[in-house]
Structure 1
Amino acid sequence: MRSDWTALPEHVGVAVADRVGGIVGVYPAPCGDHAEIASTVIGSTGTVFVKAAFSGPGVRSLRHEVAVTRAIDGFPPAVLWDFESDGWLVVGAEHLDGPHPDLSADSPDLDTLAATLTRLQETTAPDVRLYGPAGRLSFAHPAMDGDVLVHSDLNPANLILTPQGLRIVDWAYATKAAPWVELALLTQWLIGNGHTPAQAEDWLSQFPAWAGTDPKVLDDFAARNASKWATKSRQSTESWVHDLACWTHEWAAYRA
């Protein structure tokens, strides 16, 4: 659950202000819930994106994200500073200015996504603690094991088009797995952005990792992922959970 900036203890807010030359404005992020606070902070010396966590799970997640982000070049925003005070972990990161890509069928942004995915598919997982497939997804298959860096949540809100190219944020669930796992997890977001399952698979077929994966393995993944989200949807009233249940079901039904 996100909190207002005023939830920060006064001296923690002052410590942030000291790092940005005084706070001019604070603008909360419109989505996401991995940290209690996530805001764009405009200071007299520049703009940073600040995440802060206080709860045990929130602090562990944010600490993990910082470690992963610092171990990766190019894709995530750079971590500029971090500190802990009064139980809060506070992180200041590079502010990425730009829109989220349009992932609908025939969008020109798909070419930009493909170029970024090609590089990501070739990136070996860094030597830091990462999720494994079972820990990240709550199901596993031997073919999911691998040594590639997998973001595992490439929804449009985590993708930002900048003048320097497409950047990827929110690495809290970074995973070490086979490269096709990233593509399989992207399927639900392509369907959610207007692709039919057939269109989504046709677009994904440009990647060697997808083309080289046994269709029975993809069948198994689609069925298990849909089952997971169906279960979650019965236990939640959140609209995004029900959306994912719908989109993963569409893909699983197509492959059945």
Structure 2
Amino acid sequence: MRIDWTALPEAVTKEVAGRLGGSHATPATTGDHAEIAATVTGTNGKVFVKAAQSNFGIRSLRFELRVSEAVSGSHSPAVEWHFEAAGWLVVGFEHCEGPHADLSPGSPDLDLLGEALTTLGETPAPDVPLLSPKTRLGFEHVPAMDGDTLIHTDLGPANLIVTPRGLRIVDWAMATKAAPWVELAMLTPWLISAGHTPQQAEQWLAQHPAWKQTDPQLLDYFATKNAEKWATKTAVSTAAWMHDLAAWTSQWAAHRCQTG
């Protein structure tokens, strides 16, 4: 659950202010992984700060910190600094200025995303512990999902920022070591959410060799299992974002069933 910046202990806010020359915080409006997530401004500039105090929150943020430090790609924000104080882990990331990506059909941001996907598809997983496909997906995986590529696994618009220096991919809290086609499959519902039909989404993804080289039956399996997972989750939750994902994954699964 997101916590307000003012709830942080003085030891934390003083440390941040000392590094930035002030600590005017603007809470993030999207995402819910970190307990604290805010753009913090001081006389020394801007930093995007994440902080956690719960056991789960600290484990998650420490994982993201390790991955972010290991990923040196042009599309990932740099880690500016990190520290621990008063039971909190605090990480300052490079601030990415710009709007979230527009993934609707015909958007120029799709070209930026396509370039980023090409780079990611050629990026070996760093030598740090990463999630496995089975752990990340939440349903039984098959050996073809395994691989040595770094995949982000959550390329929704909230994690894609169009800056003057190009597209930045933020929030590496779910980074996984897998086959590159898994990234594309996990992106499909987000393309549908942006207005693509399942057929249009697949046509756009087909520009990437990893998609064209993947056995169609494997994509059928993935789409079906992913839709079943989100349908199960919505049976016990009223969270709007879960129901949205259930709808989008269901559309893709139905398309795969019809075309298959």
Q: Which TM-score bucket, shorter chain as reference?
A: over 0.9
Q: Look up the match of 1:249.
A: 250
Of the structure 1 ranges 14-23 and 209-218, higher mean CA displacement relative to structure 2 is found in: 14-23
Given residue 65 of structure 2, which amino acid in structure 1 is its aligned partner?
V
CA RMSD of aligned residues (A): 0.7
Matched, 1:184 2:185: yes
Given residue 149 of structure 2, which amino acid in structure 1 is its aligned partner?
V
- 3-state secondary structure, aligned to 1:236: coil
Given residue 115 of structure 2, which amino acid in structure 1 is its aligned partner?
A
- 3-state secondary structure, aligned to 1:52: strand
Q: Look up the match of 1:153.
A: 154
- 3-state secondary structure, aligned to 1:185: helix
TM-score (norm 1): 0.98
Q: Look up the match of 1:60.
A: 59
Q: Look up the match of 2:208.
A: 207
Report the Cα offset of residue 93 of structure 1.
Answer: 1.0
Separation in structure 2 between the aligned mates of residue 220 and residue 59 of structure 1, nearest angstrom: 34
Asked if the contact 2:26–2:38 (Cα under 8 Å) also holds between the matched residues in 1, the reply is yes
Matches within 5 A, 1:1-256: 1-23=1-23, 25-73=24-72, 74-139=74-139, 140-256=141-257
Separation in structure 2 between the aligned mates of residue 35 and residue 115 of structure 1, nearest angstrom: 28
Separation in structure 1 between the aligned mates of residue 34 and residue 107 of structure 2, nearest angstrom: 32
- 3-state secondary structure, aligned to 1:188: helix
- 3-state secondary structure, aligned to 1:57: helix
Separation in structure 2 between the aligned mates of residue 224 and residue 132 of structure 1, nearest angstrom: 17
Separation in structure 1 between the aligned mates of residue 83 and residue 237 of structure 2, nearest angstrom: 34
- 3-state secondary structure, aligned to 2:127: coil
Asked if the contact 2:11–2:86 (Cα under 8 Å) also holds between the matched residues in 1, the reply is no
Superposed CA deviations along residues 31-61 of structure 1, whole A, max 9, x for unmatched, are: 1111110000010111111100011110000
Report the Cα offset of residue 75 of structure 1.
Answer: 2.2
Of the structure 1 ranges 71-80 and 243-252, higher mean CA displacement relative to structure 2 is found in: 71-80
Given residue 221 of structure 1, which amino acid in structure 2 is its aligned partner?
F
Separation in structure 1 between the aligned mates of residue 229 and residue 219 of structure 2, nearest angstrom: 15
Q: Can you give the 5+ residue segments of structure 1 that lack an aligned partner in the other structure?
A: none
Divergent runs of 4+, >4 A: none
Superposed CA deviations along residues 216-251 of structure 1, whole A, max 9, x for unmatched, are: 000000000000000111111111100000000000
Superposed CA deviations along residues 150-202 of structure 1, whole A, max 9, x for unmatched, are: 00000000001111111100000000000000000000000000000000000
Given residue 80 of structure 1, which amino acid in structure 2 is its aligned partner?
E
